[in-house]
Structure 1
Amino acid sequence: MLTISAIPAFNDNYIWCIADPHRHNALIVDPGQAQPVLDHLAQQGLTLTVILITHHHPDHVGGVKALRETYPDCRIIGPADSPFKGSTNPIHPGDTALWEGITFTSMAVPGHTLDHIAFFTDDTSITGRPLLFAGDTLFVSGCGRLFEGTPAQMRQSLESLRQLPDNTAVYCAHEYTLANLRFARSWLPQSSALAEFEQQCEQARANNTATVPSTLAQEKRLNLFLRWDDPDVIRVAESYAGEHKLPINCPDDVFAAIRHSKDHFRG
């Protein structure tokens, strides 16, 4: 049976490893550092055969060169139109990547960066449900900063992810959950659902347990950045936009107000 593990890196990154214990092969997602991956592979007796890359930022690709030197036959699958030029198998949105009989479909999700892609599979043999590697596009109760794209691009990217099955397991690349929830609670302080989830996540972190993965159903219910059409969120966005002289005429504007507020949040 295939397994999936989080390899902690830097201060708050997760490098994801899918392993086939019977064939001793491994797939790695977004290796920003090589040594934690090398240590994990050695401990588990695994050979790295595929690396998936979601975007070009150093904390996602910084370990690729060293890993390829150790595993020269490893395929590196990443966005074709990207500042990252280390892919052996560059792919375009809609293309697929195959590993151990599992097909991952590449989805264009520009916003955080323009080259950003996500990898989705409806194969349930890994976790018992569909699986999404979202990189820095969709976090637990948050989304990535807009370093290169526009609010409209990011909202449209998140809209495409919002259309995936509700039971999809969402594997993002950072442990940002508690900070995201503090912000969400500042917008919706009366939300008992957010308060309860925050308590659960605080307990998980106190026990050194990851808050990732979440599910798409949970994100649609709690994540402000997927709720640009929620009346409660719209009301707060309209108030915030008025205070900061921002336009508020369409869903893109609502999303932009949420993102602007998070970017300036000091809670």
Structure 2
Amino acid sequence: MSDAVSLMWLSPVAAFCCCCGILLLLRRLPRAIMAPTEKPFFRIAYSLYTKTRLGYLFYKRQLKKARERYPHGHSSAQAFVFSGVKVVPIPVLSDNYSYLIIDTASSLAAVVDPSDPLTVQAYLEREGVTLEAILCTHKHWDHSGGNKALKRLYKSCRVYGSSYDDIPELTHALSDREQLSVGRLQFQAYFTPGHTVGHMIYVLDGKSGDGPDCLFSGDLLFLAGCGRMFEGSAETMLASLDTAASLNDSTLLWPGHEYAADNLTFAAVVEPENSVRDKKCQWVLHRRLEKKSTCPSTIGEEKEYNPFLRTHCRDLHQALDLQRGANEDWNHFRARVLEEVRKRKDLFKER
């Protein structure tokens, strides 16, 4: 989901419905699960986006605009190939990525977060493969909006996700660390709430093709960033980020959005003395000038410069002027650090 949810596009009729919806939703707005940094109007807009048809209409409008503005995708991305496996990044909407993961021996494929079904279908036809599974990280329309159309085309296609999120066309609800397969490809799903109550990430076992593990992180983890805590506390998000950080350092990170340049610019503000980040930022800015994708990075790289994975680092604590209380639990303190970094990132975005 985009960081900015706007309702200014609504027609008069839709605006009237919106007002009625607001009145109905105010009583049951899930304030307890929204991040404390979110403003009241945003909470209302977010609830409308996730709980009513207005959200779907907003997604459809954004999809139409993106197709017109980026007829060939917002970025140029290259496929990653290793023995028996092909990972194809698919630039969709204004900054999203879907991913086509192919078992080259059987020509069976899975797609992660197919927000634009027409674009995904074009890639399926270009690669000459059959869609066997949709791996949905969470319910937001910019990640799940293409499920229905693709399921209509591929009736036997399985749709995976969490039962805690309202995933369109869900056929197989997954539990934490549950495994699934597509051809010879082996995946493991991890329950990572925080961005939404049912967010999940998927790890492709590199042994499927004698290559590195691949993390498809949705809106949990980005290059140098993380998703906003729409439906979870800082403690919940910290535990989910720790899950990602616990993966092998060589694991390739395939995020749900192209946010690298903005994230690294912010990282320079909160941790200005990080030389590893400086080098990565120069590389990213050069790539973005040419409209090239910055995916993937690795978990090992992210630990070096992503402030949301560095809540344990003293340098970051000092930069934020935060100190651990005398009897404060270590993870409680780290959650405070995460919350402060997230708050500063949200304010940085609004400048």
Q: TM-score range by the shorter chain?
A: over 0.9
Give deviations 1:23-70, integer Å, cap 9, x for gaps. Answer: 222210001110110111112212111110111000011001110111
Equivalent position to 1:3, from 77, 80, 86: 86
2:297 alignment partner in structure 1: 214
1:42 alignment partner in structure 2: 125
Please say if 1:76 is aligned against 2:76. Answer: no
Equivalent residues of 2:111, 2:134 under 8 A apart: yes
Equivalent position to 1:107, from 181, 184, 190: 190
Please say if 1:223 is aligned against 2:306. Answer: yes
Deviates more, 1:208-217 or 1:121-130: 121-130
TM-score of the pair, normalised by structure 2: 0.71
Rounded to whole Å, the distance in 2 between the matches of 1:197 and 1:123 is 25
Give the secondary-structure state (helix, strand or coil) at the position aligned to 1:107.
strand
Instruction: Check 1:100–1:79 CA distance in 2 against 1; reply closer, same or farther (3 A cut).
Output: same
Instruction: Check 1:105–1:249 CA distance in 2 against 1; reply closer, same or farther (3 A cut).
Output: closer
Give deviations 1:83-119, integer Å, cap 9, x for gaps. Answer: 2252111111121111112321111111111100111
Equivalent residues of 2:235, 2:332 under 8 A apart: no
Rounded to whole Å, the distance in 1 between the matches of 2:332 and 2:120 is 46
Instruction: Check 1:74–1:230 CA distance in 2 against 1; reply closer, same or farther (3 A cut).
Output: same
- 1:36-185 equivalences under 5 Å are 36-126=119-209, 128-185=211-268
Provide the aligned length of Structure 1 versus Structure 2. 261
The aligned amino acid for 1:81 is Y
Rounded to whole Å, the distance in 2 between the matches of 1:126 and 1:231 is 39
Rounded to whole Å, the distance in 1 between the matches of 2:307 and 2:284 is 17
**Alpha-carbon distance, 1:188 to partner:** 2.1
Deviates more, 1:179-188 or 1:16-25: 16-25
Deviates more, 1:207-216 or 1:59-68: 207-216
Rounded to whole Å, the distance in 1 between the matches of 2:272 and 2:139 is 36
Which structure 1 residue ranges, 5 or more long, are not aligned?
241-247
More helix by share: 2
1:196 alignment partner in structure 2: 279
- 1:15-30 equivalences under 5 Å are 15-30=98-113
**Alpha-carbon distance, 1:173 to partner:** 0.7
Please report the RMSD computed on the Cα atoms of aligned residues, expressed in angstroms.
1.9
Seq. identity, %: 34
Give deviations 1:222-267, integer Å, cap 9, x for gaps. Answer: 1000000111101122269xxxxxxx97111011110111011146
**Alpha-carbon distance, 1:127 to partner:** 7.5
Equivalent residues of 1:3, 1:127 under 8 A apart: no
Please say if 1:265 is aligned against 2:348. Answer: yes
The aligned amino acid for 2:250 is N
Instruction: Check 1:69–1:85 CA distance in 2 against 1; reply closer, same or farther (3 A cut).
Output: closer
Rounded to whole Å, the distance in 2 between the matches of 1:139 and 1:205 is 16
Which structure 2 residue ranges, 5 or more long, are not aligned?
1-83, 324-330
Instruction: Check 1:200–1:161 CA distance in 2 against 1; reply closer, same or farther (3 A cut).
Output: same
1:243 alignment partner in structure 2: none
Rounded to whole Å, the distance in 1 between the matches of 2:264 and 2:220 is 16
2:336 alignment partner in structure 1: 253
Q: Which has more radius of gyration? A: 2
TM-score of the pair, normalised by structure 1: 0.92
